[in-house]
C-alpha cells in the first residue's frame, strides 16, 4: 500500500470536524494531519502540515472558504481543495471551482461519496456531486452574461468586506489585517462604490446574499 493521503479539515464547527476526523482516521489509506476553524488558521498551518487535500467548508469566520481556497491554491498549487458545504446551489460550486478547488460535495452526502471525492481530487481529477451538478451547469452557463460584482473586488477588499459584515469595527478590521485605519476606510469606500452600497448595512446584506457570511453571523 502506498503512503496515506494527508488531510486537513477546515470547518468552524468542532462537532463536524470531530465526526469527519473519526470517519477519515478509521481508513487505512487516510490520515487527518490538521484541523482549522477559520480560513486564517488554514493558511497559517499549511506550511507546517502540508496536506495533500484540504476538506474546506465555505462559511468560516474572518476568512471564508472561497477566499481561503483562492489564496491557498495561488501559493500552494500542489494542495488539492475539496469543498464541503451546506450550500448545494450551483453558484457556490462555481465560486469554489473558480477559486481553485478540485471538487465539491454537500455536507449531507454519503460517507462513501466523500471518500471517493477525496481520492479523485488527490489523483488530480475533478469531482462534483451529482446532487449539485445540474444547478452548477446552469450557473456556469449564466456566468458569461451575468458578471458578478464580487469578482471585481481585490483580495484585500474581499477580506475587509467579510470582517465588516461579521460586525468588526474598523479599528479591529485594521488590526486583524495589519492595516492602518485610514486604509480600511479607503477599502470600505471602494467596496461601497463597486457594490453600489450606501451603508455598511447594505454591505452586510450583500455579503449574506452572496454567501460570504451566514445570516446568523
Hey, which bits of the chain come out as E strands?
A: 5-10, 30-36, 53-56, 80-85, 103-106, 127-128
Q: What pLDDT is recorded for position 145?
A: 43
- Single out the residue of 72, 98, 74, 87 nearest to residue 8, CA to CA: 72
For domain 149-209, which CATH number applies: 1.10.10.10, 1.10.3080.10, 3.30.2350.10, 1.10.287.3510?
1.10.10.10
Domain 5-143 CATH superfamily:
Response regulator (3.40.50.2300)
* Domain-wise residue ranges, the chain: 5-143, 149-209
CB contact at 8 A, 93 and 128: yes
Is pTM beyond 0.85 here?
A: no
Residue numbers in the chain where pLDDT is lower than 70: 1-2, 134-148, 215-217
Q: What pLDDT is recorded for position 1?
A: 46
3-state helix, strand, coil in the chain (%, to 5): 55, 15, 35
Q: What pLDDT is recorded for position 146?
A: 43
Per-residue pLDDT tens over the stretch 17-32? 999 999 999 999 999 9
According to DSSP, residue 11 is labeled -
Amino acid at each position: 500500500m502506498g503512503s496515506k493521503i494527508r488531510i486537513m479539515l477546515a470547518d468552524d464547527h468542532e462537532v463536524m470536524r470531530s465526526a469527519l476526523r473519526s470517519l477519515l482516521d478509521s481508513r487505512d489509506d487516510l490520515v487527518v494531519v490538521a484541523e482549522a476553524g477559520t480560513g486564517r488558521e488554514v493558511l497559517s498551518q499549511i506550511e507546517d502540515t502540508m496536506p495533500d487535500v484540504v476538506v474546506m467548508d465555505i462559511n468560516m469566520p474572518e476568512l471564508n472558504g472561497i477566499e481561503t481556497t483562492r489564496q491557498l491554491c495561488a501559493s500552494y498549487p500542489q494542495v488539492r481543495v475539496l469543498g464541503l458545504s451546506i450550500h448545494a446551489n450551483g453558484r457556490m460550486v462555481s465560486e469554489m471551482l473558480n477559486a481553485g478547488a478540485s471538487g465539491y460535495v454537500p455536507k449531507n452526502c454519503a460517507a462513501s461519496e466523500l471518500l471517493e471525492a477525496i481520492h479523485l481530487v488527490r489523483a488530480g481529477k475533478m469531482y462534483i456531486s451529482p446532487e449539485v451538478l445540474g444547478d452548477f451547469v446552469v450557473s456556469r452557463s449564466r456566468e458569461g452574461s451575468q458578471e458578478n460584482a464580487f469578482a471585481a473586488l481585490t483580495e484585500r477588499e474581499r477580506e475587509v468586506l467579510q470582517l465588516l459584515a461579521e460586525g468588526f469595527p474598523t479599528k479591529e478590521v485594521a488590526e486583524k489585517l495589519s492595516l492602518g485605519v485610514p486604509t480600511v476606510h479607503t477599502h470600505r469606500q471602494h467596496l461601497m462604490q463597486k457594490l453600489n452600497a450606501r451603508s455598511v448595512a447594505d454591505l452586510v446584506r450583500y455579503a449574506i446574499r452572496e454567501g460570504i457570511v451566514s445570516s446568523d453571523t
